[in-house]
A and B are shown apart, each in its own frame.
Chain A
Amino acid sequence: MDHPIEHFCCQNPDCRDRGVRGQGNLLFCGWSGEGKRIRMIYCRTCKARFSERKGTVLSQSRLADEKAVSLLEHIRDGCGTRATARLLGVDKNTVTRYIKLAGAHAQPLHDEFVAFSPSDAGGAVRREMELRRQETRPL
């Protein structure tokens, strides 16, 4: 799936626009990879050039996108490492490498996105449900 340029941000740690989206400092500049499928991005601020996959699990990936995503979906759905390797026709070390990569990305994403505010009733959509009566003992 091709994302628009507004979804990307500069990945250069020395750039003053690092991590900020929609600044207008990025533009697509060419292609890379086997079959020239991966877009390259140029940052006007720091004049760095990097792949659109940088900062993702697919960065430096030698597998096709569909296969890499499928590998993680197999793992996520309870398929073991060796079974995933057999089903996708890859080496089991490839599977474990992707698990490690994905875990390394999942942890900071969890830290960034998951926060819960219990008093904020407006933020959460509470479902209405019929409760079964539960037997309780007096405290």
Chain B
Amino acid sequence: MQFDEKWSFVGKKQDHCDPGDPLDLLKGDDWSHIAIDPEHRLLISLVPGKRTGENCEKLVEDTKRRTGGRTDLLITSDEHSPYTPAIEKAYAREVPRPKKPGPGRRPKPDRVMPEDLCYATVCKTRKHGRVVEVVRAVVFGTAARLAAMLKRSTVSKTVNTAFVERANGTERGMNARTTRKTYCFSKQWEFHNAAAYLIGFSYNFCWPVRTLRVPTGDGCRSRRPRLDNA
């Protein structure tokens, strides 16, 4: 599972918005929070909105719901800080602590992360627009567990966010409102979000992913993330 956010804007960019102008409250930057399954290229969850911790929590909660609460996952993201508390809030279970003898109330329970869940981050350092250093860190889980998860994966041998970044690029090509270096942009939130959901649905159900194709006897059979994988 890979989490990321994709920037776009509605009306005008955030720096050009006047905080005192009520009309500008409905304009500014928009971040589509995305969860993707790298093995099937499936867009699992899409949460458009501001880049806040609440939206990160929504994304993680929605992902947990759609995966049936399973915890044997390798989650990767960039170093956007709200993901760590959001994942902890969604997946941690409470373990009661024994009460000490004598007066006093019972201590608060410990929050323990599942042993089989692994969350790792990728931090890229850029210099003059080029990546010069990549630092990977395990936030939840152990290095041994991470190695086992990577061994099980059919597409990755290292912690990365390449698949969600690639999906972001594909989506930018499919949605004129989020294409960079053009004059296209959304003027209203409702249309922006509608287009985001339409493109997300189209990506899952209608978009043949080149790297998912399967060789057959007389060529290749193309596959789409949702329709041909499940």
**Which chain A residues have a beta carbon within 8 Å of chain B's beta carbons?**
72, 75-81, 83, 96, 99-104, 106-107, 109-110, 113-119, 123-129, 131, 133-134, 136-137, 139
Scoring B143, B191, B196 by chain A CB atoms within 10 A of each residue's CB, the highest score goes to B191
Of residues 170 to 202 in B, which have CB atoms within 8 Å of A's CB atoms? 173-177, 179, 182, 184, 190-191, 193-202
Report the nearest B residue to A135, measured CB to CB. B158
Chain B contributes a number of interface residues (CB within 8 A of A) equal to: 57
Q: Is the CB of A117 within 8 A of B176?
A: no
For the complex with contacts A126-B154, A139-B138, 11 further pairs of A-B residues with Cβ separation under 8 Å are A72-B198, A78-B176, A99-B191, A99-B195, A101-B194, A102-B194, A103-B193, A113-B204, A118-B37, A134-B158, A134-B160
Cβ–Cβ < 8 Å partners of A76 in chain B: 174, 198-199, 202, 206
Q: Is the CB of B68 within 8 A of A78?
A: no
From residue A132, how far is it (CB to closest CB) to chain B in Å? 9
Bound CA–CA A77/B205 (angstroms): 14
From residue A121, how far is it (CB to closest CB) to chain B in Å? 10
From residue A84, how far is it (CB to closest CB) to chain B in Å? 9
From residue A52, how far is it (CB to closest CB) to chain B in Å? 21
Of residues 25 to 62 in B, which have CB atoms within 8 Å of A's CB atoms? 37, 39-40, 42-44, 46
Q: Is the CB of B42 within 8 A of A116?
A: yes
Q: B interface, by DSSP: helix, strand, loop or mixed? A: mixed
From residue A118, how far is it (CB to closest CB) to chain B in Å? 6
Q: Is the CB of B67 within 8 A of A117?
A: yes
A–B Cβ pairs within 8 angstroms, 17 of them: A75-B195, A76-B198, A76-B206, A78-B176, A101-B194, A103-B194, A103-B198, A106-B197, A110-B46, A110-B197, A114-B66, A115-B68, A116-B42, A116-B66, A116-B67, A129-B154, A131-B157
Report the nearest A residue to B36, measured CB to CB. A116
When the two chains form the complex, which single residue of B39, B204, B229 contacts A110, counting CB atoms closer than 8 Å? B204
From residue A13, how far is it (CB to closest CB) to chain B in Å? 23
When the two chains form the complex, which single residue of B155, B196, B226 contacts A113, counting CB atoms closer than 8 Å? B226
Cβ–Cβ < 8 Å partners of A77 in chain B: 174
Q: Which of B2-10, B88-96, B129-137 contacts A (4 or more CB under 8 A)?
A: B129-137
Does B17 have its Cβ within 8 Å of any Cβ on chain A? no
From residue B198, how far is it (CB to closest CB) to chain A in Å? 5
Bound CA–CA A82/B182 (angstroms): 13
Bound CA–CA A38/B147 (angstroms): 58
Of residues 121 to 142 in B, which have CB atoms within 8 Å of A's CB atoms? 134-138
Of residues 188 to 230 in B, which have CB atoms within 8 Å of A's CB atoms? 190-191, 193-202, 204-206, 211-212, 214, 223, 226, 228-230
When the two chains form the complex, which single residue of A80, A101, A119 contacts B72, counting CB atoms closer than 8 Å? A119
Q: Is the CB of B68 within 8 A of A117?
A: yes
Does B164 have its Cβ within 8 Å of any Cβ on chain A? no
